[in-house]
Chain A
Amino acid sequence: MNFAELELLRATAKESIKLRLGEEPSDNFKYHVLVCGGTGCLSIGCQNTLDAFQKAVDSHGLQDSVKVVVTGCMGTCEMGPVITVFPEGYYYCRVQPEDAEEIVSSHLKNGKFVERLCYHAADGSVQARKSDMTFFKKQKRNALRNCGLISQTSLEEYIAMDGYKALAKVLQGMSPQQVVDEVKKSGLRGRGGAGFPTGVKWQFVLDQQADQKYIVCNGDEGDPGAFMDRSVLEDDPYSVIEAMTIGGYAVGASKGFAYIRLEYPRAIDHYNKALCRAREVGLLGNNILGTDFSFDIEIRVGAGAFVCGEETALLASIEGRRGEPRPRPPFPAVSGLFAKPTVINNVESWANICPIIINGGDWYASMGTEKSKGTKVFTLAGKITNTGLVEIPLGLTLREMVEDIGGGVPDGKAFKAAQTGGPSGGCIPAAYLDTPIDYENLAALGSIVGSGGMIIVDEGTCMVDLAKFYLGFTQDESCGKCTPCRIGTKRMLEILERITKGLGKEGDLELLVELANSIKASALCGLGQTAPNPILSTLRYFKDEFEAHIKDKNCPAGVCKMPRKGLKS
């Protein structure tokens, strides 16, 4: 494929999705019915809903005017199976196979939407179309721009949505330095958790002299409660492939690796299919789009080790070794994969690259706050009405996130805290609900943006137990290489286990803090350095809960099994 053929394909492909973009289509389709095929919807039976739909469409003889498409995650996992009907964008929730007939006969045949299946807000109001829904109103989708809108592995639909426009622009007239400058200007920071400026990282690698350089995509999304990378890899794999190709051009690398965790078999499958297709049409491999530039990508599947999300451990794992981190420097930009200069970015970071190239770094930087530019994907889960994938401009307040987008805490319970950043992060209590969400503010509160997991907990959650859960996780996933992490987290966990069994004693909290600070200061990698964060942050805001466990042998939330009152243990 060359540049002209790409544009020709885009023109035809665009015609077939115009209806979804609110434009007048030139074909005969009057409706596009998009069925969410994300992992959440799949596991609650969207396949049966899809089959029923297809059948109903056929039995009404509408196959020439109604197109049924399976897409990736639309973002509202709690409401699945979800269906969107375009052109208007009517959003149907929890659609069972037996509802298909009604939607087809009422909506698709007679133009009357089915109100009972639309989203009902907590106040009882009906938000029928996607554009009416508070869940979507405050979002701004860059990394998730195509998720839930196009068929997951269709190259044509990807190209119709401006796919490969960025690569064409780069190859037709941007120097590597110009590409790096654009990414720098955007202010994009690593979305995997560390938040290091992506453009600066690229510059380091561009400046290195080497016979071989590498591009790596970190898809080892291990933080419990975070699943944005899975969604991007499953639902929009080409956006990552195209971005990695651009990265290869920008820093002078001809080879890339995508490291995807084993627990995401569909992501591996979709990404692999996309790789094959891109190779087939000359968008990957030798002489891409007829130019001198060659680049290819290989998939490496993780083998179930959380620590491999740490960059040096991940590189060791690609090389076939135990995924143990090593001290930095040298940083991967200087000596990375196979000791060559390597750009390693997270999936979501990659997913932001193409829009930045197309619209310019300034455009991206115009979103977000002064120091935290752009948009970030969060996974809203736990005790919240609307769970799912949410992409917001940084700077939105936590309250907007919880109340407007999330629809509040269900069952009339009170919001207690938002846990962000997974096992490396911390919690934010109700008093700080009006804090704008960005890297700086969350850090000041003792938490982090991290990879974007956001778990909402209500009054029924014991914060001591939650802290114990996170520490149990990091302790279990500690690779064992350095002493502070291997033994320090174990000792901390033992103390927490005692406390949650009602066997805590005076001095425990001081010891926890002392251990926490020593581990933070001396652990080898990010896993260990951040492991104490959930404890320190919980101690900061919920010290009274710890004290109730220790002094009164009482779990205020009623979660921990305490010895009966009056018994000495």
Chain B
Amino acid sequence: MGAECKCNCDQEKKLDALFAQYKGNSNGLIVVMAAIQEVHGYLPKDFLVKTAEELGVPLSDVYGVATFYAAFSLRPRGRHCVNLCLGTACYVKGAPDVQTILEQEMGIKAGNTTEDRRFSLDLVRCLGACGIAPVLTVNGEVYPRMTAEKVNEILAKYE
């Protein structure tokens, strides 16, 4: 393996390619915004303006779509994304208790980011892992059969 490029230039190039692919084509709005979100972790204002210009969509529509979908965020997210599943199986097996402890420990309500941007806490609807409910994920890593007691130990792994 060669030296890895530390900057986002590859991803930026990918974004530019997407802008070019969907120039003047409003159908690409979600595809483009998903790519921006992936590269930057949220949707910076400059990029929303650029998206509107490149795709030929009114900025109000861009904002409309950005605020409609739960996957898009207009604010920077935390370094670690903590998602607690609140699907039915998780709910009946005690996810609400886990939520209480998570919110207590982080000092924020779900849907927010801690002030030091260490954690973002979100409640998600069914990750489809009902067999191992309740489920918590941190940056995509899955923690099965969660209990309130396990919360601290898991959070401590992420600085």
- In the complex, the answer to whether B142 meets A262 with C-beta atoms within 8 Å is no
Docked CA distance A40–B86 (Å): 16
Q: Is the CB of A43 within 8 A of B132?
A: yes
Most chain B beta-carbon contacts within 10 A, residue among A40, A223, A317, A461: A40
Interface residues of A in 19-59 (CB under 8 A from B): 39-40, 42-44
How far, in whole Å, are A119 and B65 apart by their CA atoms in the complex?
Answer: 49
A312 → B minimal CB distance (Å): 15
B80 CB to nearest A CB, Å = 17
CB proximity to A under 8 Å, residues B121-146: 124-133, 135, 140, 142-144
Query: A225 CA to B124 CA in the complex, in Å?
Result: 12
Given A227-B126, A305-B69, does the pair A382, B31 have CB atoms closer than 8 Å? no
Q: How far is the CA of A322 from the CA of B124 in the complex (A)?
A: 20
Interface size on B, residues (CB 8 A): 38
Q: Which residues of A contact B30 (CB under 8 A)?
A: 300, 303, 317, 320
| Contact call B91/A469, Cβ cutoff below 8 A | yes
Known A43-B142, A320-B30, A321-B29: A455·B68 in contact at CB below 8 Å = no
Whether B132 lies near A80 (C-beta < 8 A) is yes
CB of A381 within 8 A of CB of B69, answer no
A262 engages B125 (CB within 8 Å): no
B92 touches A383 (CB 8 A): yes
Please determine whether A303 and B70 come into contact, CB atoms closer than 8 angstroms: yes
| Distance from B71 Cβ to chain A, minimum over Cβ atoms (Å) | 4
From the candidates B61, B64, B72, B89, name the one contacting A225 in the complex (CB within 8 A).
B89
Closest Cβ of chain B: how far from A137's Cβ, in Å?
Answer: 20
Bound together, the chains give a CA A43 to CA B129 distance in angstroms of: 9
Q: Are A457 and B70 in contact (CB under 8 A)?
A: no
Q: Does A563 contact B (CB under 8 A)?
A: no
Partner of B132, one of A78, A322, A453: A78
Mark contacts of B74-89 with chain A using CB atoms, 8 A cut-off: 1 yes-contact digit, 0 otherwise: 0000000000001111
* Size of interface on A: residues with Cβ below 8 Å to B: 55
Kindly state whether residue A248 has any CB partner on chain B within 8 Å.
no
Q: Does A91 contact B (CB under 8 A)?
A: no
Q: Are A306 and B71 in contact (CB under 8 A)?
A: no
Q: Is A422 an interface position by the 8 A CB rule? A: yes
State whether A223 and B65 are in contact (beta carbons under 8 Å apart), knowing that A78-B131, A265-B140, A303-B72 are contacts in the complex: no
Question: B86 to chain A: which residues have CB within 8 Å?
Answer: 224
Instruction: Return the contact of A455 from the options B70, B88, B144 (Cβ within 8 A).
Output: B88
Known: A303-B34, A382-B93, A453-B88. A224 touches B71 (CB 8 A): no
Are B129 and A222 in contact, CB atoms less than 8 angstroms apart? no
Q: Is B27 in contact with chain A by the CB < 8 A criterion?
A: yes
Does B68 contact A305, Cβ atoms closer than 8 Å? yes
Taking beta carbons and an 8 Å cutoff, which residues of B are in contact with A?
26-31, 33-34, 61, 64-65, 68-72, 86-89, 91-93, 124-133, 135, 140, 142-144
5 closest A-B pairs (Cβ-Cβ)? A77-B131, A227-B128, A43-B142, A304-B70, A224-B87
